[in-house]
Amino acid sequence: MMEIRRLISEFLSSEKGSAKVREYISTVAHDDKRILIYLKGRKYRAAYAWETLKRYAEVRFDEYPELFPDESQHIGLQIKNCGILNMLKSRDKFGRRIAFLNGGKVGY
């Protein structure tokens, strides 16, 4: 964990990368859970995890931003407002919430 934090701080102290890439990496630097995701994905090898993180940010924000729209909250609100995804007021016998999809409301 310390090694990848060092690599992140070196990147942020240099003037490499675009502003959006630097902003994303700085938000990841403060989130242990997201750093751990990259470390686990690369079997705790910090250098490889750092390269994966940096490459993901470059692809997402510089190379193909149209493939990563930042409208996930907007889409979720549309699904809820259209009545496609609903939840029952009551719970099941184990206390779990019950969600259901109303496929009849989905129009193609």
pLDDT, one tens digit per residue, over 69-98 is 765 566 667 777 777 788 889 999 999 999
CA distance 47 to 24: 18
Q: What is the pLDDT of residue 3?
A: 93
Say whether pTM exceeds 0.75: no
CB 7 within 8 A of CB 17: no
Cβ neighbours around 8 below 10 Å, total: 20
pLDDT tens digits along 3-54:
999 999 999 898 888 889 999 999 999 989 999 999 999 999 999 999 999 9
Q: What is the pLDDT of residue 51?
A: 95
